[in-house]
Amino acid sequence: MSECTHDCSSCSANCSSRKPSREEMLAKPHDLSSVKHVIGVVSGKGGVGKSLVTSMLAVNMQRKGYKVGILDADITGPSIPKAFGLNKPVEGEGLGMIPPSTTTGIDIMSVNLMLRDETSPVIWRGPVIAGTVKQFWSDTIWNNIDYLFVDCPPGTGDVPLTVFQSLPLDGIIIVSSPQELVSMIVQKAANMAQMMSIPVLGLVENMSYVVCPDCGKEIRVFGDSHIEEIADKFGYKLLGKIPMDHKLAALVDKGWIEMMENNYLDNAADVLEEACSAQ
C-alpha cells in the first residue's frame, strides 16, 4: 500500500481520512424532477426579510417568463404560503409529492401546506427538520423548473448546512438590514458560503428607508446604510434596496404578493438571469 499524500482528489482509496466532495454529498432529486437553477436566499440573523426577498425574486423571474418554484426550508417559521395566499394541500400520487401552484403558476413546497392548521407549531429537533428539507428536494416532483428559490432559516445551523451540502446551489443571495452589526452578520453567511464553495451572487438590503408621504424624502429609520461599503469590502454585487413600503407589506399580509408593482429587485432578477445563463 502506497503512502498517503493527503490529496484525496488524486486518490481512489476509501480511507477514514477521505472527505467526500460536494458532488458526493448532493441529495438525488426525484427521478421525475427537472430543475435548471437553484438559488439560496440566506441571512446571518432573523427578521431581515428573507421570505419577502424570496417571494419578490420568484415573482420577478416568473414575470420574465420563467417557470419558478420555491422550496420553503424555514420549517419552524414558514411564511411563503401566506405571502402568496396559498392554502392548497400538497398532493401525492404515489410516485412523489406534487407542490401546489399559486395564481400565476409558481410551485411552492412548504410544511405549512402539510398541516391541518397553519398556526400549528412544528416542534421538531434539528436532524428531523434537516431531513424534511432534503425530502422537499428528493421526494417532490419539481416539474420543469427554471429557477428554484430556497428560503433558508437564519444562521449557520443544521438547515442552512443541509441546504448548502445537499442541494445543487448555483449561488446564494444574502439579505441584510441597515444596522451597524450587519457587517459581522453578512460576513458569517459569506464565510459559510466560502467554506462550502458556494458562489455569493450578491446582497439585498431590506428596510433601507421609508419615503415620507408628504415631501417624498427618504428617511433612514435605522440610520445610514453601509451596504455599499460591505459590498465593496467583500467584492459582492449590490442587487437592490427595499424600502419600508406599506403597500408592499399590505400585499404580503393579504397574500397578494404577485400583484406587487415596484422595481426594487428588477436589477437582482437581471443579475440572476445573467449569472445563471453564463454557467
d(CA 164, CA 160): 6
**6-10, 122-126, 170-174: range with lowest mean pLDDT:** 6-10
For residue 265, pLDDT over 70 is answered with: yes
Strand partners, 210: 219
The answer to whether the CB of 198 falls within 8 A of the CB of 42 is no
**What pLDDT does residue 254 have?**
96
**What pLDDT does residue 171 have?**
94
pLDDT per residue as tens digits for the range 218-253: 888 887 788 888 888 888 999 999 999 999 999 999
Nearest to 182 by CA among 149, 207, 218: 207
**What pLDDT does residue 1 have?**
46
Q: Which helix (H) or strand (E) holds 158?
A: helix 158-166
pLDDT per residue as tens digits for the range 107-145: 999 998 887 766 666 767 778 888 889 999 999 999 999
Higher pLDDT among residues 227 and 81, named by residue: 81
d(CA 53, CA 272): 13
